[in-house]
Amino acid sequence: MPRLKNITVQSSSPLLLLRQIRDVMAQAASAQARLDQVVSIIAGGFASEVCSVYLLRAGDILELYASQGLKKTSVHLTRLSVGQGLVGEIAATAEPLNLANAEAHPKFVYRPETGEEIYSSFVGVPILQGGKVIGVLVVQGKKAQSYTPDQVEVLQTVAMVLSELAISGQLVDAKEIKTATGGLMAQQLTGVRLSSGMARAPAVLHQPQLVITQYVAADPDHEKTRLDAALRSLQESFGAFIESSGLSDDDEQRQIIETYLLFTQDRGWIARIDDAIASGLTAEAAVKKVQEELQARMSQLASPYIKERIQDLEDLSNHLLQALLGKPVVPEAQELPEAFILVARSLGPAELLDYDHKRIKGLVLEEGSLTSHTAVIARAMDIPALARVERATAVIQPGDTVIVDAESGNVYVRPSDSVEQAMAAHLHHYDMREAEYALFRDLEAETRDGTRISLNINAGLFVDSASVMQAGVDGIGLYRTELPYMTSATFPEVEAQRQLYASMYAQLPGRRIVFRSFDIGGDKKVPYLHAGEEENPAMGWRATRIGLDRPGILRDQFRAMVQAAAGQPLYVMFPFIAQLAEFDAAKKLLLQEVARAAVKPSPLRIGLMIEIPSSLWQLEALMQRADFVSIGSNDLMQFLFACDRGAAHMADSYDTLSPVMLCVVREVVEKAKARHVEVSFCGEMARKPLEALALLGVGVRTLSVSASAVGPLKRMIRSLTLAEINEYLPFLLQSPEASVRPWLAAWARDHGVMV
């Protein structure tokens, strides 16, 4: 093993101290040899006899890892639990202790193996990582004197550098730290389901944190200038955002940015960063140090208000780090495992899309809501996803095995053997079902009495072309075009849209693709289009309403579709049509674009979504003008029953298998058939076999569902005699009950229908 060059120990200047530590790090040596050298440098720098490093091990034990001054035989032998002795007290409170006479402190415990009885003064600081204590750094001396506040500050700075070196594996084996942070204990977390499913894979942490490579400053004045410039640039960009956003004073987003702006002028906060720079850190390391200390304090506080404020400061620190360091480091695709569960505090849709979606098997977020853009995309990706999983990023370490069970809202982190076994049974069952469904790949979706049901896929942004190119799947029944609008900073250009749509044609030769014009607004807000405050965004300025008020945007989209079709068939469907006049107006815009195109789509089919109840009273007129209609039960249900589709607490209030809903569907189907208009069903309801059974019973023959539902639906369809359900369903429609679910389920059981 290479031996360390002996570095002269002589400095009490923080800058010199840090440089000496940096020089030790630059040499090739074992982690222990480096740590030994570092403690001796620190003891020298403090002109004290002792410097020791304790690291937290599994089970909340603090182990003496290196010491200058204490007996060498006590290293790796002396262990204290958190809360025990002075070192344990520092770990428990995450606060420094500075004592002239250590023995006089009530928490003092004497460990004979260390030989520390001869030392009187004691100063110790926590070594923090991500706001958690991972160790304690202690300096002790014979003389009964307390250390100056400046010296405590210097020790904290050194502790911060040690923490970074430790976590990057340069000082101790990184695995030891993982153990220390409780990383190896099994944990169960809970959250709110955004998208259903179940997955087991190693965790990847989405870290918008920035990687700091330089801790020790060459020139503190220069670092101070960098910090000031970064603060100024943040203030300017926040100010510019507020001015250009057009957001009203009471808009939440505006208020947050204004709070940030105030924080950038917070003297206390800036003074702490300045102090850290003065003690020898680079600007970014200083910001990180203050951030760590705030995080540690936060974990000790109970007040939600203060926690929230500190959280804001933490966010601001991240912005500041970004201003100092440039773009956050997103792991390169090749560095990521083939399959992983993505864990993040919060994640924007664009950030989610930065990852290779084929590898993401699940998503765990600390924040987020059902209606967030990220949730929409997670559902589009068909991966299990949970939001509001508290402390997920603190508990889950990169590479940990994680099981996401979105069905029950549980996340199992580093599952114990018994949890693994129980979940393996679930996963096995799940996988078996998936494998069974895979057997249907080459089979048509045909009932036992020979009726072929047309299955189609709901897609948007990602298309698993293999799921479309199987027997029984006719194409894309609903292509949600709004996702690219939501993930870009401005309206997507015509050419960008054309390319996207053209790639759909290229991926799915010969298959029908129903493009739905954008359904932005409502819960799918786009950052560059401000509807103002809306009490009920789902009923607000949304979808075709926006398109008719801003025809330029809609025409751009139609132009892109017509160009992408390049003479091939083009199916376009308008969402959120409340009445005939809107359909006519949208159709006119589309026909104008077709008229000016050099190459016309052939054939051109124009349809609409039936999802606003008012359209039910103009069905016949609509059917005369439309080539096809598609029933969107997600919106139809919420407006029919006046029951918010995004409100989790209302989710069970009304059943899609209510006779009311089924009667409405039957009416649409009958009117469409009478006019020879194609009718399909693309709401979420259709993805469940029992619900799909009811839909077939009221006459639906074309379903559009997410890709994962194809297998279960084929299985149900192939076990069904259509004539039998056609006969039974009219009886259920007469039911006075709120839901016909139990009757339908019993019927399916009795008739061997696999739902």
Binding site for ligand PEP (CB under 6 A): 478, 480, 519, 611, 632-635, 682-683
CA dihedral 689, 692, 697, 699 (to 10 degrees): -150
**What is the amino acid identity at position 416?**
S
Residue pair 136/125 in contact (Cβ under 8 Å)? The answer is yes
Whole-angstrom distance, CA of residue 122 vs CA of residue 101:
7
Residues in the interface with Mg ion (CB under 5 A) total 3
Taking CA 217 as the corner, what is the angle to CA 213 and CA 218, rounded to the nearest 5 degrees?
120
Q: Which is nearer to ligand PEP, 188 or 653 (CB)?
A: 653
At residue 588, φ and ψ (nearest 5 deg) are: -60, -45
Helix axes 252-263, 304-325, angle to 10 degrees: 70
Phi-psi region of 566 (alpha: psi -120 to 50; beta: other; left: phi over 0): left
Phi-psi region of 92 (alpha: psi -120 to 50; beta: other; left: phi over 0): alpha
Strand partners of residue 596: none
Q: Which is nearer to Mg ion, 635 or 691 (CB)?
A: 635
Q: Which is nearer to Mg ion, 141 or 632 (CB)?
A: 632
Q: How far is the CB of 515 from ligand PEP (least distance, A)?
A: 13
Q: How far is the CB of 522 from ligand PEP (least distance, A)?
A: 8
Q: Which is nearer to ligand PEP, 159 or 682 (CB)?
A: 682
- Three-state helix/strand/coil letters over 263-295: HCCCHHHHHHHHHHHHCCECHHHHHHHHHHHHH
The position carrying tokens 């220069």 is 222
682 binds, among Mg ion, ligand PEP, none (CB under 5 to 8 A by kind): ligand PEP
Task: Go through the chain and tell me how many residues it has.
Answer: 755
Within 615-674, the residues that bind Mg ion by CB under 5 A are 632, 635
480 binds, among ligand PEP, Mg ion, none (CB under 5 to 8 A by kind): ligand PEP
Q: Pattern of binders to Mg ion over 594-613, x per CB under 5 A?
A: -----------------x--
**What is the amino acid identity at position 347?**
L
Q: Which is nearer to ligand PEP, 345 or 516 (CB)?
A: 516
For CA atoms 287, 290, 296, 298, give the dihedral sign: negative
Q: Which is nearer to Mg ion, 607 or 632 (CB)?
A: 632
Q: How far is the CB of 710 from ligand PEP (least distance, A)?
A: 17
81 binds, among ligand PEP, Mg ion, none (CB under 5 to 8 A by kind): none
Q: How far is the CB of 684 from Mg ion (least distance, A)?
A: 10
Q: How far is the CB of 337 from Mg ion (least distance, A)?
A: 36
Whole-angstrom distance, CA of residue 604 vs CA of residue 495:
21
Q: How far is the CB of 634 from Mg ion (least distance, A)?
A: 5
For residue 523, state whether it binds Mg ion (rule: CB under 5 A): no
Q: How far is the CB of 490 from ligand PEP (least distance, A)?
A: 22
Q: Which is nearer to Mg ion, 556 or 635 (CB)?
A: 635
683 binds, among Mg ion, ligand PEP, none (CB under 5 to 8 A by kind): ligand PEP
Whole-angstrom distance, CA of residue 549 vs CA of residue 607:
20
Residue pair 341/361 in contact (Cβ under 8 Å)? The answer is yes
Q: How far is the CB of 192 from Mg ion (least distance, A)?
A: 22
Q: Which is nearer to ligand PEP, 55 or 665 (CB)?
A: 665
Strand partners of residue 198: 405
Residue pair 591/551 in contact (Cβ under 8 Å)? The answer is no
Q: Which is nearer to Mg ion, 349 or 683 (CB)?
A: 683
Q: How far is the CB of 476 from ligand PEP (least distance, A)?
A: 13
The residue nearest Mg ion at its CB is 635
Residue pair 615/579 in contact (Cβ under 8 Å)? The answer is yes
132 binds, among ligand PEP, Mg ion, none (CB under 5 to 8 A by kind): none
Q: How far is the CB of 695 from Mg ion (least distance, A)?
A: 17
For CA atoms 361, 364, 368, 370, give the dihedral sign: positive
633 binds, among Mg ion, ligand PEP, none (CB under 5 to 8 A by kind): ligand PEP
**3-class SS at 341?**
strand
Q: Which contacts of 255-259 are long-range, i.e. CB under 8 A and separated by 24 or more positions? A: 256/312, 259/312
Whole-angstrom distance, CA of residue 215 vs CA of residue 161:
7
Q: How far is the CB of 452 from Mg ion (least distance, A)?
A: 27
Q: Which is nearer to ligand PEP, 62 or 608 (CB)?
A: 608
Q: Which is nearer to ligand PEP, 62 or 468 (CB)?
A: 468
460 binds, among ligand PEP, Mg ion, none (CB under 5 to 8 A by kind): none
Residue numbers at the binding site for Mg ion (CB under 5 A): 611, 632, 635
